[in-house]
Amino acid sequence: MARIPAEEIERLKREVSVQRLVEAHGIELQKHGASDLIGRCPFHDDRTPSLVVSPKKNLWHCLGACGTGGSAIDWVMKAEG
């Protein structure tokens, strides 16, 4: 399998919206603080919202049981295997 050039990976991290990816997976996000969004993490049994999305930084992080996070690429790898 061909290796994806590092420049292409960095371009995807910059240009693909984490917020749109999360919402496309059916996660309802609500405003949290000045610029972040919060919703229920799909990667564990989340009874209260613990998934924080930062549109400004284009990153996500679970503050709950799984503690995962990262870029748009990390989201796709976690969500779709």
The answer to whether residue 1 is domain-embedded is no
Q: How much is the average pLDDT of 57-77?
A: 96
Asked if the structure places residue 24 within a domain, the reply is: yes
Distances (CA, A) of 10 to 3, 7, 25, 74: 14, 5, 22, 12
Which CATH number does the domain housing residue 18 bear? 3.90.580.10
**Domain total of the chain:** 1
* Structural domain includes residue 75: yes
* Amino acid identity, position 13: K
Residue for token pair 């000045």 = 34
Task: Answer yes or no: is pLDDT of 79 > 80.
Answer: yes
So what's the pLDDT on residue 81? 84
* Residues 29-56: tens digit of each pLDDT: 999 999 999 999 999 999 999 999 999 9
What's the average model confidence in pLDDT over 6-30? 96
Would you say residue 1 has pLDDT above 80?
no
Q: Report yes or no on 28 lying in a domain.
A: yes
Residue 61: which H helix or E strand, with range? strand 59-62
For the entire predicted model, the pTM comes to: 0.90
The DSSP call for residue 54 is E
Residues 8, 14, 16, 22, CA torsion sign: positive
